[in-house]
Structure 1
Amino acid sequence: MQIKQLARATGVDVETIRFYEKQGLWPEPARLANGYRDYAPLHLERLAFIRHCRALDIPLPDVRRLLEAIDAPRAACVDVEELVDAQLARVRARLQSMQALERQLLQLRSACSGEHAHQGCGILKELVAAAHGEACVCH
């Protein structure tokens, strides 16, 4: 299959497929007589795997390690477990950061209530004060 067909089948754009290919995430595809790459079912499977891993926000170097684990099926699964544990720790840290951001935004939101002109908006006053280096209700 040609790259456009591969892109359509996986939902991955052509430039991303080319990037993954340059990163060496799969074997070089065969070439047709006209020089076009001829992607095989293996490429489709690996690209779908990569896409799923990226949807889980797994960094590309870790995706490479997972692909290497697939290519060495008799190797111990400990590396894969550690990789997923590390990703889980990153996600948990981001969740904590997002929850702190939510609290800050809620505090900022509480600075303004009711309908009035922008000049009386507590949110805008707090943001402008922060821009001037003054304390803000959210920090």
Structure 2
Amino acid sequence: MNNKITFASAETCMIMDPIHSNSLGNVHGGELMKIMDNIAGIVCVKHTKGTVVTARVDEIEFHKPVHVGNIVTCTGQLAYVGTSSMQVMVNVVVDRLDESSDQEPALTAFFTMVHLVDGKPSKVPKLVINTKEEEELYKLGEKKYKEIKLKL
């Protein structure tokens, strides 16, 4: 049995409906951020096997608009763990069904999630780095974590 804690991830796809948009057919940024927040939460629940809350969202960047009828794919990848907090890199790509183009990046952000036990921050399992890609992601997440700590 493998006891190594790997880098948790999660993914979901959704077609954007009129309920997600304004009167011009553009999907509200808040709707997309909600999807991103859910994915970040799922990633961290998978890692901690417990309750997590969103503490912070950093560097949210809107790259391309999303419209009604587009399919969005949202992925989250655990990047770094501190004592009770975790950094999750979240990406949203868009498929435009009326065009023959490839998927395009629509949004990116880093989420800081905190593990709670009895309503208080609680220790999270450490990560074991198994690949070069995980090492690079860990270094990026660690950099973001340290930048946040400097701001506080």
Q: TM-score normalized by structure 1?
A: 0.24
Structure with higher strand content: 2
Higher relative contact order (CA 8 A, sep 6+): 2
Structure with higher helix content: 1
Which is higher, the Rg of structure 1 or of structure 2? 1
Q: TM-score normalized by structure 2?
A: 0.22
